[in-house]
Amino acid sequence: EIIRGGFEYIQWMQSKIVELEKQKEENLPKIEFHDAVASTEGKRKIGDASKELKLLSPNKLFELLRNDHILMKDNLPYQEYISRGYFEVNVTEKNGYTFSTTYVTNKGLIWLQKKYDHIRLKEVV
């Protein structure tokens, strides 16, 4: 009886090892992405972020962020998301005109990856 119970336990442990290996394989790209982003400094435009994340096309990502009330109609982030450190806005003036550009921070890139992982594409369209 002890031997049989031991054999069943070994089979159970082997199935758990297989399950954990599968989870590791599935999570490895996310872990590598997170480590690569976390180890770099900087920011990128939203269009570049969409390509880096292999999310929707840049225009579709802008639309999604507006629909989710993360960006306003003018593609500037709401203060809440700037305060969280997900976005930065660079304001420049040229020939009497003021231009604002939204950038995604590394922290924001990781957040976007988690938030929109369900819509990731194999290739950017």
Q: In this structure, what token pair is assigned to residue 83?
A: 């305060």
pLDDT value at 2 more than 70: no
Q: Are 118 and 55 in contact (CB under 8 A)?
A: no
Is 40's pLDDT higher than 80?
Answer: no
Query: Could you report the per-residue pLDDT of 42-90, keeping only the tens digit for each?
Result: 788 988 888 887 777 888 889 999 999 999 999 999 999 999 999 999 9
87-93 contacts at long range (C-beta below 8 A, 24 or more positions apart) = 88/43
- Answer whether 50's CB lies under 8 Å from 75's CB: no
pLDDT for residue 26: 81
Instruction: Specify the pTM.
Output: 0.64
